[in-house]
Amino acid sequence: MTSGKDDAVATRVPIPANRYWIFAALALVGFLVDLLTKRWIFGRLWPPVAGQRPVHWVWEPYFGLEVTLNEGALFGMGQGLVWLFVVLSLAAAAGILYWLFVAGEARDLWLTWALGAVTAGILGNLYDRIGLHGLTWPAAYDPARVGQPAHAVRDWILLQWNDTLRWPNFNVADSLLVCGAILLLLHAFRPQSDAEQKKVPAD
C-alpha cells in the first residue's frame, strides 16, 4: 500500500541544481572543442587540390588527418539528406531537453552525462549542416558545385589498419555521439535498487 505513495513522492523530488550546470557545461565544452578542432584543421588543410586528398600522417599508416565533407550522417550514412538530418537534430536536441528537465530524468547523474555528450555532438554537426562554417564546394569534390555553400559536416580524423580496414573519417562531435550512446547502453544494463533510484545526490 505504500509503494504507490513512495513512487509519487519520488516523482516530485526536484532536480538537483548541479544537473543543469553539468549538462550545460558538457554540452557547451564539447561543442566548442569540436568547432575549434575543425577550425584549426580545416584552416590549414582546406581546400584539397583537385584530384587529391592527401593524408597527413600522425602515426603512419594508422592515424592521420584527412579533411573531408560529409553530407550524410554518422560514418557517411544517408548521403544527400542534409536537411532531413537538420530537422532530426533539432528534434533530438529538443527531446533531450524535455526528457532531462521536464520529465525529470536529470535526477540521474549518469543520464545527465550521457545526454550532455550526445547534445554536444548534435550541436557540433548541426552547426556544419546549416553551413555556418562558411565553406564552399571545391573542384576536388564536384566541379558542378564549385563555389556553392557546403551544407556538410567537416570530418578530419582518419583511422585505419594497414590499408586493409579503414574507418570512415569522423570528428570530435561524432566521437561525443558515440561515447554518449555507449553510456546510455551501459546505463540500460546497470542494475539499480529502488532506494538508489529514489536517492537525490546533494548539490
Annotated catalytic residue: which of 6, 34, 155, 163?
155
Distance CA 179, CA 171 (A): 13
Q: What is the mean pLDDT of each run of 10 residues along the chain (203 residues)?
A: 49 86 98 98 87 83 93 76 94 98 96 98 97 92 89 95 86 97 92 52 48
**Is the CB of residue 109 less than 8 Å from the CB of residue 17?**
no
What pLDDT does residue 76 have? 66
Annotated catalytic residue: which of 163, 174, 194, 203?
174
Three-point CA angle 125, 94, 182, nearest 5°: 60
**Is the CB of residue 156 less than 8 Å from the CB of residue 168?**
no
What pLDDT does residue 197 have? 52
Distance CA 47, CA 62 (A): 23
Q: Is 142 a catalytic residue?
A: no
**Is the CB of residue 170 less than 8 Å from the CB of residue 164?**
no
* Domain segments of the chain as ranges: 16-198
Q: Is 155 a catalytic residue?
A: yes
Q: What is the pTM of this model?
A: 0.85
Which residues fall within 8 angstroms of residue 67, CB to CB, at 6 or more apart?
A: 41, 42, 45, 46, 48, 53, 154, 155, 156
Q: C-alpha grid cell for residue 139?
A: 573542384
What pLDDT does residue 178 have? 96
What pLDDT does residue 102 have? 96
